[in-house]
Amino acid sequence: MRRSLRLRGDAALMLVLSATLGLLLYAQRDGGAPTTSAPRTPGKAARRPSPVPRAIQAPDAGAAPLAYEGDTPAPPTPTGPFDFGRYLSAKDQRHFPLLINQPHKCRGDGAPGGRPDLLIAVKSVAADFERRQAVRQTWGAEGRVQGALVRRVFLLGVPRVAGMDKADTEEEGMRAHWRALLRAESRAYEDILLWAFDDTFFNLTLKEIHFLAWASAFCPDVRFVFKGDADVFVHVGNLLEFLAPRDPTEDLLAGDVIVQARPIRARDSKYYIPEAVYGLPVYPAYAGGGGFVLSGATLHRLAGACAQVELFPIDDVFLGMCLQRLQLTPEPHPAFRTFGISRPSAAPHLRTFDPCFYRELVLVHGLSAADIWLMWGLLHGPRGPACSHPRPAAAGPFRWRP
């Protein structure tokens, strides 16, 4: 009976939050600031991909360096020009209050040695309640996974209200509604971190440094941290297998590593960086912001380094600059697919949204909330994906199956 009442209460809360969110989105439909940018067959161990750099990370001699815009999956960010004058005048403002905190997040589960083995930190925005729910109830669920204790937080800034003057009391009222909504969500799920800076694409660097400082202060004993976007699918079991032999007291930052990326100098690009802001021809090596994992030791060192590096408006490149200050090279891993799963040119009819791909990977970027739910069901259903079942050899020439 108690469980039934709790489920009904959760369902009622979801309906209230969803209805309120819909009203706020209608009032603010031109605004919003988006984020950047398998179970194994029983008795059979999952195959772990070997850590070989992707082809883009080893360009041929004499080839032109890669362009940042081409290296990064295009997030649904505003396409308007970036106000560099305003950015440069405010770039040293890097300390903002924490409006919603989760101070007990990393205090374990009461068991001996109950510190979290893995903290999942997901970049989100207020309007993305649907994605947060998908993460909470699929790959980002808290609890014990393969014996490891997993905890979760979402990282948010204050929503911007489009089309309103900064001094307008109506804007303050709308912001207050958003904060009230997020506080209600925080009381229900205890996983919201909200800071007092505007939640914009170019403020993701602020989200980066504030999270590193928060995790260092409130999760000092965490073994590993996964940080990524809300539109990714993560195979936490495969991630934990990758981390099992690693020592959390040693440096580690692994993901989809990009090297020799060039700054974009075209003014009409959302990634435009003038030479006055960054004058070098290439960026330092960095892990794609869609998702990466780092050790507890690197978390603390990175928090210190990023506090000393001048802010840069592209968050994953900024993190590469912090790694460069530490003289730490990010580790490439082919199971982190921050570009999604590409369709091979030799197989135009190949279906890439297939659990047989996802069960071998750690992360796939660029999924909708519905895609995350669907893939989770396909991988974690009672029978699982029928990928390893042997098939009789087909007669005649080889053909890709549609």
Q: How far apart are the first and last CA of the chain?
A: 48
Average pLDDT over residues 47-57: 39
Asked whether 326 and 299 are in contact (CB, 8 A), the reply is no
Q: What is the rounded CA–CA span in Å between residue 370 and residue 193?
A: 24
What is the chain's mean pLDDT, rounded?
78
pLDDT at 297 over 80: yes
Q: Which pLDDT score, from 0 to 100, does residue 193 have?
A: 98
- pLDDT grade, residue 340 (50/70/90)? confident
Q: Which pLDDT score, from 0 to 100, does residue 401 have?
A: 39
Closest among 153, 196, 203, 205 to 178, alpha carbons compared: 196
- pLDDT grade, residue 291 (50/70/90)? very high
Does 323 or 37 have the greater pLDDT score?
Answer: 323
Question: Measured at the alpha carbon of residue 226, what is the angle toward residues 230 and 329, in degrees to the nearest 5?
Answer: 120
Domain 95-162+169-335 = CATH 3.90.550: yes
Asked whether 173 and 156 are in contact (CB, 8 A), the reply is no
Q: Which pLDDT score, from 0 to 100, does residue 210 have?
A: 97
Does 350 or 248 have the greater pLDDT score?
Answer: 248
pLDDT at 103 over 90: yes
- pLDDT grade, residue 171 (50/70/90)? confident
- For 360-391, what is each residue's pLDDT tens digit? 899 999 899 999 999 999 998 877 776 754 44
- For 226-260, what is each residue's pLDDT tens digit? 999 999 999 999 999 999 999 999 999 999 999 99
């000092």: which residue's tokens? 220
Q: Which pLDDT score, from 0 to 100, does residue 112 have?
A: 59
Q: Which pLDDT score, from 0 to 100, does residue 324 have?
A: 97
Q: What is the rounded CA–CA span in Å between residue 246 and residue 240?
A: 10
Kindly report the number of other CB atoms within 10 A of residue 123's CB atom.
28
Asked whether 230 and 131 are in contact (CB, 8 A), the reply is yes
Average pLDDT over residues 253-278: 90
pLDDT at 400 over 60: no
Q: If you count them, how many residues does the chain have?
A: 402
pLDDT at 24 over 80: no
- pLDDT grade, residue 75 (50/70/90)? very low
pLDDT at 59 over 50: no
The three-class DSSP label of residue 182 is helix
Q: Which pLDDT score, from 0 to 100, does residue 8 have?
A: 55
- pLDDT grade, residue 267 (50/70/90)? confident
- pLDDT grade, residue 76 (50/70/90)? very low
- pLDDT grade, residue 180 (50/70/90)? very high
Q: How far is CA 209 from the centre of its chain?
A: 15
Q: What is the rounded CA–CA span in Å between residue 52 and residue 74?
A: 25
Closest among 395, 319, 307 to 36, alpha carbons compared: 319
